[in-house]
A = this chain, B = another copy of it.
Amino acid sequence: MPNKITTLSPLPLSKVKFESDFWSKVQQRNREVTIPAVWQRCKETGRIDAWKLEWQPGMPNEPHIFWDSDVAKWLESAAHSLASHPDPALEAQVDELIDLIASAQHEDGYLNTHFTVVKPQMRWANLRDWHELYCAGHLIEAAVAYQQATGKRTLLEVMCKYADYIDTVFGIEPDKKRGYPGHEEIELALVKLYQTTGEQKYLRLAKYFVDERGNTPHYFDQEAIARGDDPAEYWAKTHAYTQSHVPVREQNLPVGHAVRGMYLYCAMADLAVEFQDKDLLAACKRIFEHTVSKRMYVIGGIGSSKANEGYTEDYDLPNESAYAETCAAIALVFFAHRLLQIECDGRYADVMERALYNNVLSGVSLAGDRFFYVNPLASRGSHLRWQWHHCSCCPPNLTRLLASLGLYAYSYSGSEIFVHLYGSSTANFHVDGQEIRIVQKSNYPWDGLISIAIETSQSVQFVLALRIPDWCRHAKLRVNRKNEQLRVDRGYAMVAREWQNGDQVELLLKMPVEAVHAHPAVQQNAGKIALQRGPLVFCLEEADNGKNLNSLAVNSSSFQADFNADLLGGTVVLQGKARQPKLGGWANALYRFESSDVEEIEVLAIPYFLWANREPGEMIVWLNRDMATQSQLQRRAT
């Protein structure tokens, strides 16, 4: 019989603290600017007051079907922040919000602003298109996070009551609806609710929602008929949009709406562990492999089409029209993180890191108060960050991920401690009952030197597993200033020893500028390269390089990395040379034969995640590749 499905355990938020450098600054901005800004927008747009249930037809700010989820994600963000950074004022603000939410709960446990004040007759009438169970899921996640951060149970009890009620509505029993959400989310939330409360029925309900999905006769068609609608007139045309085209265990690749899919796959991974369900895990792994090998942008983005906020076909990764929704990259982080815990394989951490440092971070402005919903890989200058968006799922999704980033940095299992994310941080573990403190110092992602000090009151045997990222082709390890042979197992350098207090580990991940090549089937990137250094994908912006970025041709070997403390809050930039046909002399011509001279110009690339923080202008990730060979480049130089 195959092995049991086991998992690593992420270190809880209260045990991890980012210090002084990259992530610490991101988290500080998140706490001080972004979380307050999201609250402010929720307040201004009526999302908070909606819980008063005072809205009536004709009044402004009609509560929308997804508003509850926006508030829930803000609340979850605040909870995660409180877990590592106590803040009595914020906690009081959350408590007040929780009282307001609790006051909106129906006697039977039902809790949803839209369906209470706008469509009271339509409860559970359209699971396919409306977001009731989705909103419930986010509220459950918020309740769990707040209880974990503060020990306070008010919201958790509200949500248990709601979940208890939902459990009476949905299921395979004859008196229940055989429904499941059109926008997945509650499934993974119910697993968390079970893990926090120990209440088995929440886990069973999650399993029911996942198992029922895609069965025939199709529930969404049946409920459409019950509403008097023609299922054939479903606007999305296919149940693949909601990943309910076939049962989940038969799914082999990511389809439809990207965020919905990833939330489903997360729940599938969770349930695979809880129920030792190898078929479910196999489906997760098939879908993940297909995603990252055929449908993922180099920035870790997924979902290339605006039409379905999702996938089109394999290798179809347009740059200028890329959708690559911020939420979808966040959801990919969630999914990759779950598979990482199960499979203990660095390739999942590689994807998690790629999405995190590029598509996710791109979603929020340098100042922390403007956002991208869509993350193209090329722009003519009209793609701008917005302060708020009608469909404002991304900002509070970002805040909750960034506030809970500690969860993603370390894991442990028995006597193994895994380091997944680098950056200055402290982490407290127990190994064999012995408390151990890991003190990591690093300028990552700006450079690849990681120093780790072990603090322990007595010597202890454990394996320190240090991730060797996929981008790293040369790593060096020193323990107590002595070089050590790297023993890499599934992407982690395994350093086993009897650790003493004060032991020092140095890991050097060489971080040259690399040219990323895309699989030739990606038509949009043929003949092009992207610049990457460490986990960061770089781009060229008009602010640094003028217009006509499409006409540049580059050879990555000309690029050097420098830290520029004065640019964009301090960042590594890549400076190099590009060749470009001279642009002048066109007058009124649209086409001409004259072979424009090629000139060599200096160009500067910035990390992709920092783009669109200056005056609007062109941006480009995939650059024409200068096809000159190395020897030709040397001749050029002479």
CA distance in complex: A429, B119 (Å): 81
CA distance in complex: A516, B520 (Å): 25
Set of chain B residues within 8 Å of A520, measured between Cβ atoms: 547-548, 551, 581, 583, 586
Distance in angstroms from A171 CB to nearest chain B CB is 40
Distance in angstroms from A550 CB to nearest chain B CB is 3
* Given A293-B588, A551-B527, A552-B527, residue A593 in contact with residue B471 (CB < 8 A): yes
Set of chain B residues within 8 Å of A591, measured between Cβ atoms: 298, 516-519
Establish whether residues A517 and B596, one from each chain, have CB atoms under 8 Å apart when the complex forms.
yes
A499-526 residues at the B interface, CB under 8 angstroms:
514-524, 526
Can you list 21 A-B contacts with CB-CB less than 8 angstroms, sorted by A residue number?
Answer: A292-B590, A293-B588, A298-B591, A380-B523, A471-B593, A517-B591, A518-B590, A519-B586, A519-B590, A520-B581, A520-B583, A521-B548, A524-B550, A526-B548, A526-B550, A527-B581, A553-B625, A553-B627, A556-B595, A624-B624, A627-B628
Set of chain B residues within 8 Å of A481, measured between Cβ atoms: none
Establish whether residues B517 and A595, one from each chain, have CB atoms under 8 Å apart when the complex forms.
yes
Question: A589 interface residue, CB < 8 Å from B?
Answer: yes
* Given A522-B590, A550-B527, A632-B635, residue A595 in contact with residue B627 (CB < 8 A): no
A539-579 residues at the B interface, CB under 8 angstroms:
547-553, 556, 579
Set of chain B residues within 8 Å of A548, measured between Cβ atoms: 520-521, 526
Question: A64 interface residue, CB < 8 Å from B?
Answer: no
Set of chain B residues within 8 Å of A553, measured between Cβ atoms: 527, 625, 627
Establish whether residues B579 and A627, one from each chain, have CB atoms under 8 Å apart when the complex forms.
yes
Distance in angstroms from A366 CB to nearest chain B CB is 26
Set of chain B residues within 8 Å of A471, measured between Cβ atoms: 593
Question: A107 interface residue, CB < 8 Å from B?
Answer: no
Residue of B526, B592, B632 near A628 (CB, 8 A) is B632
Question: A95 interface residue, CB < 8 Å from B?
Answer: no
Distance in angstroms from A517 CB to nearest chain B CB is 6
Residues of A at under 8 Å CB distance from B? Answer: 289, 292-294, 296, 298, 315, 380, 471, 473, 514-524, 526-527, 532, 547-553, 556, 579, 581, 583, 586, 588-596, 598, 624-629, 632, 635-636
Across the A-B interface, the 5 shortest Cβ-Cβ residue pairs: A526-B550, A526-B551, A527-B624, A514-B593, A520-B548
Set of chain B residues within 8 Å of A593, measured between Cβ atoms: 471, 473, 514-517, 532
| Copies assembled | 2
Establish whether residues B517 and A594, one from each chain, have CB atoms under 8 Å apart when the complex forms.
yes
Residue of B517, B549, B590, B625 near A592 (CB, 8 A) is B517
Distance in angstroms from A4 CB to nearest chain B CB is 27
With both beta carbons as reference points, the residue of chain B lying nearest to A633 in the complex is identified as: B632
With both beta carbons as reference points, the residue of chain B lying nearest to A290 in the complex is identified as: B588
Set of chain B residues within 8 Å of A594, measured between Cβ atoms: 517
Residue of B547, B556, B581, B632 near A517 (CB, 8 A) is B581
Establish whether residues B289 and A588, one from each chain, have CB atoms under 8 Å apart when the complex forms.
yes
Establish whether residues A592 and B516, one from each chain, have CB atoms under 8 Å apart when the complex forms.
yes
CA distance in complex: A298, B635 (Å): 35
CA distance in complex: A514, B593 (Å): 6
With both beta carbons as reference points, the residue of chain B lying nearest to A524 in the complex is identified as: B550
Residue of B521, B526, B598 near A627 (CB, 8 A) is B598
CA distance in complex: A556, B523 (Å): 22
With both beta carbons as reference points, the residue of chain B lying nearest to A547 in the complex is identified as: B520
With both beta carbons as reference points, the residue of chain B lying nearest to A521 in the complex is identified as: B548
Set of chain B residues within 8 Å of A522, measured between Cβ atoms: 590
Set of chain B residues within 8 Å of A532, measured between Cβ atoms: 593
CA distance in complex: A292, B627 (Å): 32
Set of chain B residues within 8 Å of A521, measured between Cβ atoms: 548
With both beta carbons as reference points, the residue of chain B lying nearest to A316 in the complex is identified as: B380
Set of chain B residues within 8 Å of A556, measured between Cβ atoms: 595
CA distance in complex: A583, B518 (Å): 10
CA distance in complex: A553, B593 (Å): 17
With both beta carbons as reference points, the residue of chain B lying nearest to A294 in the complex is identified as: B590
Distance in angstroms from A585 CB to nearest chain B CB is 11
CA distance in complex: A638, B111 (Å): 78
Counting chain B CB atoms within 10 Å of each CB, the highest count among A292, A552, A629, A635 belongs to A629
CA distance in complex: A635, B594 (Å): 23
Distance in angstroms from A491 CB to nearest chain B CB is 15
Set of chain B residues within 8 Å of A526, measured between Cβ atoms: 548-551, 624
Set of chain B residues within 8 Å of A583, measured between Cβ atoms: 520
Distance in angstroms from A354 CB to nearest chain B CB is 9
What 16 new A-B contacts, CB under 8 Å, besides A471-B593, A527-B551? A292-B590, A293-B590, A516-B591, A517-B596, A519-B586, A519-B591, A520-B548, A523-B550, A524-B550, A526-B548, A527-B553, A532-B593, A556-B595, A579-B627, A628-B632, A635-B635
Set of chain B residues within 8 Å of A518, measured between Cβ atoms: 590-591
CA distance in complex: A259, B542 (Å): 36
Set of chain B residues within 8 Å of A628, measured between Cβ atoms: 627-628, 632
CA distance in complex: A593, B532 (Å): 9
Counting chain B CB atoms within 10 Å of each CB, the highest count among A550, A552, A556 belongs to A550
* Given A526-B551, A548-B526, A550-B527, residue A589 in contact with residue B624 (CB < 8 A): no
